[in-house]
Chain A
Amino acid sequence: MKPVKIAMMSLTHGHTRKYYQTLLENAKLDWVASCAEDQSAKETYELYQTGVPCYLSANEMFERHPDIEAVVLASANDKHLAQVQDCARRGVHVLSMKIPTFDMSEYDAMIAAVDKAGIVCQIELEMHYNPVVHRLKKLIAEGTVGKIVSVQATNITLSPVWAFPWQGVPEASYGRRVPLKAGDARCRGGALCDHPHIFDLVRHLTGADFDFVYSSVAPNLRPELQVEDMLLVNGKLKDGTAFLFDPSWSRMEERLKVPGPGWEVFPKRMEVNVTVVGEKGTLVCDCFGPNVYHNGAPNDRYTVQYTYFDEWIGMIDEFVGCIREGKEPLINLRWHRPTLAAMNACYDSVASGGPCVVS
């Protein structure tokens, strides 16, 4: 299989650095160029010494590397529409970060652009390539716990806003400035926008879509943020499955400009735990554990040293396979749309104070 000539764009997303190793090592890829959103993103990129040239303009990058076949859009959410349309116009395949856009008219414009160009557009929901999630899906498919009646899940992390400031800016994260609710100075665009995984996963595990959601925000742990950092969600799927999600930024962090050792204050900076209650049994699942643990430098705090990092490998494998074999990615724009509709409904529920039907 001819290696796919790939590039990265913007380099401002929190997941940017996680692609570097697999883009360099996978023989099915030829990482030819990157372009940064600004000088600051370029300087951060250069710390990692990938050896791949980096530009400050997408036009310049595409002009100098006309053989680019695919890009990873590692950008803020409000950049995605223009970038997807630009890539579609150029016939370049796209791997988009996890929130293409929360604006459903923009979302449909992306679908139209991708369809017209006939390109692959995969959405970055990396949990599907995690070996524990693979096992969880297998156990459920084999009927280990019978029909699912309830799913409880956490997708809790530290807040990345100090390293990736756009995640705390409502216009960049949510797409526009929408107050959470009357009398609340905060806007949509915080922790919920960072944590679509469990909303997506529950649809895969059950095969059902959302019926209604109820969501409530708590006082922020970081009162200076313009966006929510603590919220809870419950509701039902259309097959009657009950669920309860915690998609908060409930783990505190050191306010580092570049993520690195000592970022976390709580020992485990990122957790996705899933409990599946079925008619014949219960599964409890830690998608990122067990690991190894230490209390060494730089802060002498008890800290999880992760041993799970396969997600990016499998996701890129699928992306390459879809490009070369003309397949539809598991997480494509159409599949992902109801997930974002449910997340929007969570914000509507926060605003109304009551449950909200997911349309």
Chain B
Amino acid sequence: MAQRARRGIEMDVEGMNTALRRLCDKYGVAVDGRLVADAELAAGVRLEMVGGAVSLLPWRVERRFAELKKLIDGKTLEEVSTLRFAVMRNGARLGHLLYREFDLCEWMAGASIRKTFAVVAGGKVANVIVTFANGMSASVECSAALPEGAAEIDRHEIIARRGVACDRVVDTQVPQASIYAFTADGTKTYTDTDAELFGFSDAEIWAVRAAFAVLKAPALVAEWKKAGCDVKEKVMQTLACAETCVPAVFSEEI
């Protein structure tokens, strides 16, 4: 199952809903929603609740991003200046890749994106420079051009006056794994991060965790809905402006 999402196979939504119910039961949270597959969303699923559908932002509960955010909020890093984010994947929509990175940008920066200038090539690569309302900058490299079968490569670096933080270890260019298996069949890697959801792919794990976070703290519904709508609009305008080679500028309220 762990390798399924990387091979582009659909999520096991039924299994994810079972896991979601198990978490809710364990932690005393009401099961007021269920996950539904939705290929139009970057997360690949949405959470259906009584009040309507919720677009999930699973990366916000992904452990590495949660820890990076803690480093900012806890003042381990002081006076952040620039974010350097990158993601390369195969078979993804460029808009979906930008959507995740833009939302991570705003969440980490603690400020909204005010201006973007994107250079797009071949419909599969976008290199974007971002300016935030608080003056910070970001570079966002997105590529949907990795060959079939290649594992996702990404990097999220935060540069501050005091300290640099990154989800990749120094002197490496690609994600490391927890286990490397060297056999006659070649080298296989395994990275498992969540014992309670062992066996699910990363995408499935963080979607379940995001749904659980919403059910546990319903105030997230409005927060994520607004963030998701804003970012979606910014991604669309960024890609549209790239065609005319002009910056996209955003007002405070979109």
Residues of A within 8 A of B (CB): 25-28, 129-132, 134-136, 139, 144-145, 261, 280-287, 289-297, 300, 302, 305-308, 310-311, 313-314, 317
Q: Which of A28, A289, A311 contacts B178 (CB 8 A)?
A: A289
Residues in A neighbouring B196, C-beta threshold 8 A = 310, 313-314
User: A295 with B26: in contact, given A135-B178, A289-B176, A290-B177 (CB under 8 Å)?
Assistant: no
* 13 pairs, A vs B, C-beta closer than 8 Å: A132-B191, A134-B198, A135-B190, A281-B183, A287-B178, A292-B166, A293-B168, A293-B169, A294-B163, A300-B162, A310-B195, A313-B196, A314-B195
- Could you say which of A281, A284, A308 contacts B193, with CB atoms under 8 Å apart? A308
A306: nearest chain-B partner, CB-CB: B67
Q: Does B64 have its Cβ within 8 Å of any Cβ on chain A? A: yes
Q: Is B129 an interface residue (CB 8 A)?
A: no
Known: A292-B71, A300-B162. 17 other contacts (CB 8 A): A27-B25, A27-B28, A131-B198, A136-B179, A281-B183, A283-B182, A286-B176, A289-B176, A292-B64, A292-B67, A293-B168, A293-B169, A293-B170, A297-B77, A297-B162, A310-B194, A314-B195
Please tell me if the beta carbons of A294 and B71 are within 8 angstroms of each other in the complex.
yes
Q: If A293-B170, A294-B165, A295-B163 touch, does A307 touch B179 (CB 8 Å cutoff)?
A: no
Residue on A with the closest CB to B164? A295
Known A292-B67, A297-B162: A134·B76 in contact at CB below 8 Å = no
Between A134, A139, A307, the greatest number of chain B beta carbons within 10 A of the residue's beta carbon is seen for A307
A279 to chain B, nearest CB (A): 11
How far apart are the CA atoms of A145 and B77 in the complex, in Å?
43
Contact B165 A134, beta carbon cutoff 8 Å: no
- Which of A26, A131, A139 makes the CB contact (< 8 A) with B27? A26
Contact yes or no, B68 A292, CB < 8 A: yes
A310 to B176, CA, bound (A): 20
What residues of A have a CB within 8 angstroms of the CB of B78 in the complex? 296-297
Taking a contact as CB atoms under 8 Å apart, the answer to whether B180 and A283 are in contact is yes
CB <8 Å contact, B195 and A134: yes
Q: How far is the CB of A125 from chain B (nearest CB, A)?
A: 14
Q: Among residues 72 to 119 in chain B, which have CB atoms less than 8 Å away from a CB atom of chain A?
A: 75-78
B192 contacts partner chain A, Cβ-Cβ < 8 Å: yes
Mark contacts of B169-205 with chain A using CB atoms, 8 A cut-off: 1 yes-contact digit, 0 otherwise: 1100001111111111000001111111010000000
Whether, in the assembled complex, B120 has its beta carbon less than 8 Å from a beta carbon of chain A, the answer is: no
Q: Sorted from nearest, which 8 A-B pairs have the closest CB atoms?
A: A296-B163, A281-B183, A27-B28, A294-B165, A310-B195, A131-B192, A296-B76, A307-B63
CB distance from B146 to the nearest CB of A (A): 20
Which B residue's beta carbon lies closest to that of A285? B179
- What is the minimal beta-carbon distance from A298 to any residue of chain B, in angstroms? 8
Say whether A131 contacts B182, CB under 8 Å: no
Chain A minimum-CB-distance residue to B166: A293
Q: Is the CB of B192 within 8 A of A134?
A: yes
| Distance of A231 Cα from B26 Cα, bound (Å) | 42
Identify which of A26, A145, A284, A290 contacts B191 (C-beta below 8 A): A290
Q: Which residue of B lies closest to A274 (CB)?
A: B179
> What is the chain A residue whose CB lies nearest that of B77?
A296
A336 to B160 CA separation, bound complex (whole angstroms): 48
Verify A283–B181 contact, CB threshold 8 A: yes
Query: Is A290 within 8 A of B178, CB to CB?
Result: yes
* B148 within 8 A of partner (CB): no
Which residues in A have their C-beta under 8 angstroms from that of B198?
131, 134-135
Q: Name the one of B71, B179, B194, B195 contacting A296, with C-beta atoms under 8 angstroms.
A: B71
Candidates B64, B175, B181, B194; contact of A131 at CB < 8 Å: B194
- Tell me whether A294 and B195 are in contact in the complex, defined as CB-CB below 8 angstroms, given that A283-B179, A286-B178, A287-B178 are known contacts: no
Of all chain A residues, the one with the shortest Cβ separation from B29 is A27
Complex CA–CA separation, A129 to B68 (angstroms): 24
